[in-house]
Amino acid sequence: MTDRAQLTGLAVTSPAALADDVLVEVGLADRVAPLATAIGTLWVAWNGRGVVAVAEAADGPAAAAEHAARYGRRAVLGRTLPRGLASAISRRLAGDRLAPLALDLRGRTPFEIAVWAKALEIPYGEIRPYGWIAAEIGRPRAVRAVGTALGRNPVPLLVPCHRVVRTDGRIGNYSLGGPHNKRAILAAEGLDPDALEDDARRGVRLVGSDTTKICCWPTCRHARRVAPQHRVPFRSLREAATRGYRPCKVCRPVAYEAS
């Protein structure tokens, strides 16, 4: 019998990776791989639908196990991110908001997604208060809920919730390892968190230019262009308005009053 080849004998076992590849591609399993960032190594989980999560972990096996427990899907640990994904992520982290990067946000609420989508509009190296997001998504009274939604952001850094700060101007908390990480990321984007908080403590919420009579959030690129001799600080939009300043159409400061 050994020298007889049968057609049924030509059925073969599929490569070991095939099933995982299929399940990852359709989003029924995720891959996990490390990503070097300004705050150390983070672990990215993704599948064929998009990036699922960015998280801290002690090491790869811990990252995979914690991801699997949180999402109820198998997590396949990889050594590196695929080249296309790595380049899209690095472009995003460098401030290119248009770098195409799909996110897998299945199971999230429309409110959460609206909050995260709005956070994506905040440019690299700029910050906005929670109240701005609430106003922009048409839920001006939902400031606390905005904070909660940002705290649940599964893809920190990719959705830049670190660019959203407390309404009183303090940098505030951060889901990814705590407030020191938030300050470190903002510093890596060229901001000075201490100086921003000092300004806020002195009551500076907005900055205007006495040549254009336009007022902005202090980190708006138009505010930062204003020469020191033309720079006018305001405590509120109302104060700016009474002095004849209109809100910037780019950063759109909202009519909230710091409580």
Q: Does 107 bind another protein (CB under 8 A)?
A: no
Q: Does 227 bind another protein (CB under 8 A)?
A: no
Q: Does 259 bind another protein (CB under 8 A)?
A: no
To another protein, the closest distance from the beta carbon of 152 in angstroms equals 22
Sign for the pseudo-dihedral over CA of 221, 208, 191, 53: negative
Closest to another protein by CB, 23 vs 62, is 23
To another protein, the closest distance from the beta carbon of 27 in angstroms equals 9
Q: Write the interaction track for another protein spanning residues 20-39; mark x where CB under 8 A is met and - where it is not.
A: -xxx-xx-x-----------
Let me know if 248 is a catalytic residue: no
Q: Of 6-14, 180-188, 201-209, 227-235, which part binds another protein (CB under 8 A)?
A: 6-14
Q: Token digits for 31?
A: 């891959």
Q: Does 79 bind another protein (CB under 8 A)?
A: no
What is the rounded CA–CA span in Å between residue 179 and residue 173? 5
Rg of the chain over all Cα atoms, to the nearest angstrom: 23
Q: Does 187 bind another protein (CB under 8 A)?
A: no
Q: Of 18-26, 58-66, 109-117, 229-237, which part binds another protein (CB under 8 A)?
A: 18-26
To another protein, the closest distance from the beta carbon of 55 in angstroms equals 23
What is the rounded CA–CA span in Å between residue 10 and residue 136? 62
Closest to another protein by CB, 14 vs 259, is 14
Closest to another protein by CB, 17 vs 187, is 17
Q: CA distances (Å), 180 to each of 130, 136, 137, 185, in order?
A: 19, 27, 28, 9
Q: Which residues pair with 246 in a beta bridge?
A: 214
To another protein, the closest distance from the beta carbon of 24 in angstroms equals 10
Q: What are phi and psi of 111, to 5 degrees?
A: -65, -45
Find the distance separating the first CA and the last CA of the chain, reported in whole Å. Answer: 88
Q: Token digits for 90?
A: 């690095």
Q: Does 6 bind another protein (CB under 8 A)?
A: yes
Q: Please name the amino acid found at residue 47.
A: N
Q: Token digits for 183?
A: 């300050």
Listed residue (210, 204, 206) closest to 254, CA to CA: 206
Q: CA distances (Å), 227 to each of 202, 209, 212, in order?
A: 20, 8, 12
Closest to another protein by CB, 21 vs 197, is 21
- The answer to whether the beta carbons of residues 125 and 190 sit under 8 Å apart is yes
Query: Could you say which of 161, 215, 216, 248 is catalytic?
Result: 161
Closest to another protein by CB, 14 vs 229, is 14
For the annotated catalytic residues, the residue numbers are 161
Residues that bind another protein (CB under 8 A): 3-15, 18-19, 21-23, 25-26, 28, 48
